[in-house]
Amino acid sequence: MTNDRMPKDRVNDYSKAIIDERLEFLRKQSGSALEHIGNYTVDPEESKGNIENIIGFSQVPIGIIGPLLINGEYASGEYYVPLSTIEGAVVMSYNRGAKLITASGGAKTRVYRDGIQRAPVFILKDMDAAKAFTEFLTRNFAVLKSEAESTTSTGKLKDIQIFPLGKAVYVRLEYYTGDAMGMNMITKATMQLVSWILRNFPVEEYFLESNMAVDKKPSYMNFICGRGKSVTAEIVITKKNVERFLGTTPDKIFRMYRYGHIGCSMSGVIGGNLQYANALAAIFLACGQDLGNISESSTGANLVDLTPEGDLYFSVTLPSLIVATVGGGTSLPTQKNCLDIIGCYGTGKVMKFAEIVAASVLAGELSLCGAVCHEDWTASHEKYGRNRI
Ligand code: NAP
């Protein structure tokens, strides 16, 4: 360790000179040449607003799956989906699921709800004041809406849910945010709305967020009420294709699903799925989504059934999928490239992106069901998921 200090007070400097200076400090500190972190092809200036104190770019491999056939309202046709991961066998597994879906006529996808929340809490003098406050909020919805929407050309306040608790009132504000995930947009809008409240009602104290939003945490609230895009994908797969692609039967997958759901209940899992987080982490990383939101996005449940003909019905439902095709990390260079691969960069694309994510999640669930039922799980990880050490 040296006594040198990290260069200070220039957290928003993206020049090559400051990056070299920071790296030099870290080389001395760590005794490592750090020869890869500072080697990149993109312009660091492009990451302004996404990172501070920049020292370089991490290079995570990107694989591709497909063709994945989707019959959605917004996504229609065959897609090749980029997955960025360091877990061997993940891309193989999703690719097998994609091929099965395509051979079975495609996944049907639907977005059935859209809205993201900010949830301030207000502390009043006592519970009578809290009751009067809830009435005040309901009465003034139109004003609150117009105050919030004065800060954004895209955001719309859709709904207010009010939860009184003693002298406190928790307020869950739900917004439409277009193609952006919207948390910066609605934080600004909510601050404007709160300022109007403070001028018009005697509030003792408030906090802009009460944790009821519920941002970046798994919760029953998000699972039941939804957050971001609520999206579902379903498919019916013939007995023949289940045997051909997964080496098992619809019956066995159905029994596995029943025992798996009991396992989820016993362990307190919210929802019930096998590996939604794997698809989400890999697509989020490739396509410039906020990785912190994998937490609530992966809270979803499978529904598995047998048709009267003995074929397999399988659906995935993600009630709180947080995705964007505008803003956040979506215009970072490699991330934009990946969104371009699926035709999902920019305005008017977020619903299509949500459907592609759901269909990819379905591919992974089907493939892993096959691996667990057919017992080729360990073998495939041995073959693809082991590194040179
Ligand atoms: P943003 O990059 O801060 O802003 C996106 C802006 O793009 C919108 O405000 C909107 O401006 C404009 N826009 C242009 N075309 C649009 C379109 N078609 N649809 C929607 N907006 C359009 O993005 P954000 O989604 O508000 O925030 C995302 C970032 O917030 C992520 O980086 C995430 O990591 C971070 N985040 C913040 C918090 C927080 O508490 N602040 C929490 C979690 C995550 P107008 O509003 O003028 O229309």
pLDDT, one tens digit per residue, over 39-57 is 999 999 999 999 999 999 9
Q: Is the CB of 154 under 6 A from ligand 1?
A: yes
Q: Is the CB of 119 under 6 A from ligand 1?
A: no
> What is the average pLDDT across 237-253?
97
| 3-class secondary structure per residue, the chain | CCCCCCCCCCCCCCCHHHHHHHHHHHHHHHCCCCCCCCCCCCCHHHHECCECCCCCCCCCCEEEEEEEEEEECCCEEEEEEEEECCCCCHHHHHHHHHHHHHHCCCEEEEEEEEEEEECCEEECCCHHHHHHHHHHHHHCHHHHHHHHHCCCCCCEEEEEEEEEECCEEEEEEEEECCCECCHHHHHHHHHHHHHHHHHHCCCCEEECCCCCCCCCCCCHHHHHHCCEEEEEEEEEECHHHHHHHHCCCHHHHHHHHHHHHHHHHHHCCCCECCCHHHHHHHHHHHCCCCHHHHHHHCCCEEEEEECCCCCEEEEEEEEEECCCCECCCCCCHHHHHHHHHCCCCCCCCHHHHHHHHHHHHHHHHHHHHHHHHHCCHHHHHHHHCCCCC
Q: Which atom of ligand 1 is nearest to the CA of 328?
A: 32
Q: Is the CB of 180 under 6 A from ligand 1?
A: yes
pLDDT range class, residue 4, cuts 50, 70, 90: low
**Closest listed residue to residue 325, CA positions, set 291, 352, 304:** 352
Q: Which atom of ligand 1 is nearest to the CA of 154?
A: 48
Query: Per-residue pLDDT tens for 348-375?
Result: 999 999 999 999 999 999 999 999 998 7
345 CA to middle of ligand 1, Å? Answer: 14
Amino acid letter for position 41: T
Give this prediction's pTM.
Answer: 0.95
pLDDT at 11: 85
178 CA to middle of ligand 1, Å? Answer: 9
Q: Which atom of ligand 1 is nearest to the CA of 179?
A: 19
Instruction: Compute the distance between CA of residue 211 and CA of residue 229 in angstroms, rounded to an integer.
Output: 19
Q: Which positions are catalytic?
A: 87, 290, 381
pLDDT range class, residue 381, cuts 50, 70, 90: low
Range in 12-16, 241-245, 304-308 the model is least confident about: 12-16
Q: Which atom of ligand 1 is nearest to the CA of 177?
A: 20
Query: Per-residue pLDDT tens for 165-211?
Result: 999 999 999 999 999 999 999 999 999 999 999 999 999 999 999 99
Q: Is the CB of 228 under 6 A from ligand 1?
A: no
pLDDT at 340: 98
Q: Is the CB of 184 under 6 A from ligand 1?
A: yes
Residue of the CA atom closest to atom 42 of ligand 1 = 183
The two tokens of residue 103 are 């051979």
